[in-house]
Amino acid sequence: MLIIGSPNTECGLMAGLRVLECGGSAVDAVEQTLRVVEEQAGDGSVGLGGLPNILGQVELDASIMDGRNLAAGAVAALQGFLHPISVARRVMELLPHVLLVGQGAFLFAQEIGAERAELLTERGREELEMRLRAVSGTVAENEPLYRRVQALLGFRPGGTACAIAVDAGGHICTGVTTSGWAFKYPGRVGDSPLIGAGNYADDRYGAAACTGIGEAAIRIGAARSVVLRLSTGQRLDEALWQVMQEARRLKLGVPLHLNIYALSESGEHALCSTSRERAHYLCAYPGDREPRRLPALPLAALGDAPACT
Ligand code: GLY
């Protein structure tokens, strides 16, 4: 049994571990961990207080995948609900579908009685206004929205929370939740709710979850690529490095920022990150009283970035 998570799961990881210690499933543990993160107003990249789109609306994306049977559920561009990860779980459990977006996700969340919330905080509103003021000299009020999104590209979007758990039965679950790219074009969906891009779990081989610029993870099918490499017998670090090399070949229009968290079927885990700061992730085993902080794989091992294609 164990649970790993992105640094911003610190507030919720032990709650997830307690679920496992009490005999709960990996799915329960991942959901519980991410629900705690979604409730924190201080994290501008997830749930309550997530930074809004260019119109000032907070649009949330989330997904969950059960490695026992490859069942998955996801929501994208969901507005007005506190726990997109729980809505994603109910999509997995109640519908023959995997992904609900926008109005459909909203309708479903309403039908299952999901908790409503005003997600835009004062800080989120002020941050958007400040950014728009800063570019008002280059983009006029009457210009199309996409021009404003382009003007704000210099602001580095960040965040997203993910967790991967293994329960007493050896079953793996991954979950990802995010408010996505800050000040994005309305309706923009990142990798987090896309199974195979930002999230993938298969009990037989392992799991992977991504944070960072979703467009990169989508274009290389990052999470599924890692698990597919594990299925061929590749070492975890090797699989992560090779998938990261694929990401480094992309032309994104913004600097690549990508973190891939992964776990093998044998319980080995690692983070591969483009972050120049000392990237780390969290991990907790039964009996731990607080999350362990573990360093990412050394980026130097990746060598120079290959030529862009
Ligand atoms: N990785 C989160 C996003 O790009 O939306």
Distance (Å, rounded) from C-alpha 71 to C-alpha 89?
Answer: 10
Return left, alpha or beta for 104; rule: phi > 0 is left, psi -120 to 50 is alpha, else beta. Answer: alpha
For residue 23, the CA-to-ligand 1 centroid distance in Å is 32
Specify the residue with its C-alpha closest to ligand 1, atom 4: 214
Please give the pLDDT value at position 302.
Answer: 63
pTM: 0.95
Pocket of ligand 1 (CB under 6 A): 160, 178, 180-181, 190-192, 198, 211-214
Residues acting as catalytic residues: 160
* Residue 308 predicted with pLDDT over 60: no
pLDDT at position 50 is: 95
Q: What is the CATH number of domain 2-304?
A: 3.60.20.30
pLDDT tens-digit readout, 14-43: 999 999 999 999 999 999 999 999 999 988
Give yes or no for residue 145 having a pLDDT over 70. Answer: yes
Atom of ligand 1 nearest to the CA of 214: 4
Segment 170-179 mean pLDDT: 98
Report pLDDT for 309.
Answer: 40
The share of the chain scoring above pLDDT 90, in percent, equals: 86
Lowest mean pLDDT among 84-98, 265-279, 294-308: 294-308
Residue 210 CA to ligand 1 center (angstroms) comes to 8
Query: 276 exposed, middle or buried (CB, 10 Å; 0-12, 13-18, 19+)?
Result: exposed
Q: How far apart are CA 222 and CA 225, in angstroms?
A: 5
Q: What is the mean pLDDT of residues 179-204?
A: 97
What's the mean pLDDT when you consider all of the chain? 94
Looking from the CA of residue 217, the nearest atom of ligand 1 is: 1
d(CA 56, CA 127): 10
Cα separation of 17 and 169, whole Å? 14
Instruction: Report pLDDT for 277.
Output: 65
Domain layout of the chain by residue ranges:
2-304
**How large a percentage of the chain has pLDDT more than 70?**
95
